[in-house]
Amino acid sequence: MYEAETEFARTLVAEVCALTRRVQQEVVANADSLTKGDRSPVTLADLTVQAVIGHRLAERFSTDAFLAEEDSGSLDASPAMAEKVGALVRSVIPELDGKAIATTLDRGSHPGGAEGRHWVLDPVDGTKGFLRGQQYAIALALVDRGKVVVGALGCPNLPAPGERGNGDGWIFHATRSAGAWATPVAGGGAAPATVDSISDSGQAVFCESVEAAHAAHSVQAGIARRLGITAEPYRIDSQCKYAVLARGEASIYLRLPRDENYREKVWDHAAGAIVIESAGGRVSDLDGNPLDFSKGRKLATGRGIVATNGLLHEQVLKACREELAG
């Protein structure tokens, strides 16, 4: 079940990986011309990816809804941005004019929920990694009656297993109850993605964001001490953290809540969560409840994210509760 949707998602994510690489390479080559806080290159990539994926989805699965991060507002605000997005989109879909691109972008306004089917997209996850010329992800998932059933996670710069830094990229795809798989962006056969089998928390490796403020490094260091973890964390941007866990290079990934009222957005976790769970791991909120993708555009019923290899999950939840309470 969902074989056609899974293959479609994997192929589509591979297509847009090439587009985002083009934009990122231009960013790196012209880094001196960027001012601090200039997000225009990643906005360009976001809008381009969303337009291409939204159009392909409408062609192939016309009755499915679409929930995505961006809309056409950035095009309305900047004719220069609209021109650049249009040129990139038409490099792969020549027939799309500016009006069609704006319409496709605005299809992503679906409210989510538990009815029917809708696709969830984060066009470029990991803004700072993208702008540094490092890691980012393209995350596409299918939600059917409130449950994530298909996920494709493109990591265009991820290195080969066991290596660090930039590489040639990998795509992870998963179907509920059918396992997770990893394929090189450059092409080749898919290999199973499987979490590690570590049950002694002292042997585990944390995966966390590069940016200290983003990941609350000091709090996570306290949680690591409670678990007896001494290894250096694997620091990487974006939903690539889910990919690293899925292929067994780390055992734990936490997304701690910014405050009591903050709730995560569905596009930041839908694809990554099904990849981890299909690879044999577990993903929950801080109370140990499964993530609920049926409540709209946010994970409205739980705080924080805990992703592990499964064997360590209860130990990690306990350490989180103790550290956060302290």
Q: Residues with catalytic annotation?
A: 46, 127
Residue 120 φ/ψ, nearest 5 degrees: -120, 130
Residue 181 is given by DSSP the state E
With residue 154 as reference, give the H or E element that holds it.
strand 147-155
Distance CA 253, CA 268 (A): 14
Which pair of tokens denotes residue 212? 């200290």
Residue 286 is given by DSSP the state T
Distance CA 281, CA 191 (A): 17
Residues 233 and 205: beta-carbon distance below 8 Å? yes
Q: Which of 82, 78, 15 is nearest to 52 (CA)?
A: 15
Please state the three-class secondary structure of 158-169 as a single string. CCCCCCCCCCCC
Please state whether 67 falls in left (phi above 0), alpha (psi between -120 and 50) or beta.
Answer: beta
Which amino acid appears at position 252 of this protein?
I
